[in-house]
Structure 1
Amino acid sequence: MKNRLLILTKGELQRLTKYNVTTISFVVAVVWFLLLFFIDDIDIFSSMLPFIVIVDATMLAVIFIGAIMFFEKTESTISSMLVTPVKNSDLILSKAISNTIHTTMSTLL
């Protein structure tokens, strides 16, 4: 099961790259960095930093899930997933793991 889950998670991460979700995440991280870079007041900076981390982690995750659902619907991925010998729980777990990895990397940037 671990090998199958690793393969599914790797495929999900490749799909995120294919749909340019990773690129958009990097661009948003650069925008956040530039926003914080030009703040001179330390009080404003210290109050904005937790806000940006929370917004980046939560809202981008929601947007990524929506984008992934849209791309999977346009490519009819659901039809092909129904005939695979993989359990639905493994598919859902691999999607959750890949989105967690992607969101963590985006937040760390």
Structure 2
Amino acid sequence: MSDYQHEVEELERESATAARLFDVRRIIGGLFVVYGVIVTIAGITASDADLKKAQDININLWTGLGMLALGLFFLIWLTLRPAVPPTADELREEMADRPPSH
């Protein structure tokens, strides 16, 4: 294997790692899970006065559970359908199809 092929394969591995790390589903899912846990805890520890203000509906509990569900959805989606970065050949083909820039 030539040095060029070795470098291309190494860049492809690094690109795949970066694509997985910075996938927006991971960021959104993680934030929703963290905030969902915080809001759910606030809902569990709500006082009677807090519930009376909201017409006896525990808004924090329901919102927190909804946020947890959405965050877990994003993280499960990420696990089931991971991002696959384009290969070097696909990038070359795409560049060849583009008109030259000035």
Asked which structure has the greater RCO (Cα within 8 Å, sep 6+), the reply is 1
Same fold by TM-score greater than 0.5:
no
The structure carrying a bigger helix percent of its residues is: 1
Shorter-chain TM-score category?
0.3 to 0.5
Larger gyration radius, structure 1 or structure 2: 2
